[in-house]
Amino acid sequence: MHIEVNTDHNIESTEGLVLHVEQVVEKAMSHFAGQVTRVEVHLKDENAGKSGAADKRCIMEARVANHQPVAVTHDADNLHIAIEGAASKIKKAVESLLGKLNRK
């Protein structure tokens, strides 16, 4: 599974941030490693450096083999919470998709 991390111009893409995102995504998607080929993560600061409630956004898009991509968004006060929230949501979305496919 390939994990790609993208940031807007307001968030510095440090090695530590990328490593954190990769670890969170790998943990959330470990059960689907054979079926999910790629996860794209987009991190945004909606208020461009100004503080505010839920101004950090994490968008995750999982590419499930032979299916349309599944995408989720989570907003939070800081990036770590946004990343964790999006990872939880993408895990549930992929579980739902694969569960529906297995029932057919």
Q: Any idea where the domains of the chain sit in the sequence?
A: 2-103
CA distance 17 to 80: 9
CA distance 17 to 12: 9
What torsion, rounded to 10 degrees, do the Cα atoms 40, 45, 48, 52 define? 170
> For residue 43, how many other CB atoms are within 10 A of its CB?
23
Give the CATH number of domain 2-103.
3.30.160.100
Taking only the tens of pLDDT, the chain with its 104 residues reads: 999 999 999 898 999 999 999 999 999 999 887 899 999 999 998 877 566 677 899 999 999 988 889 999 999 988 999 999 999 999 999 999 887 666 55
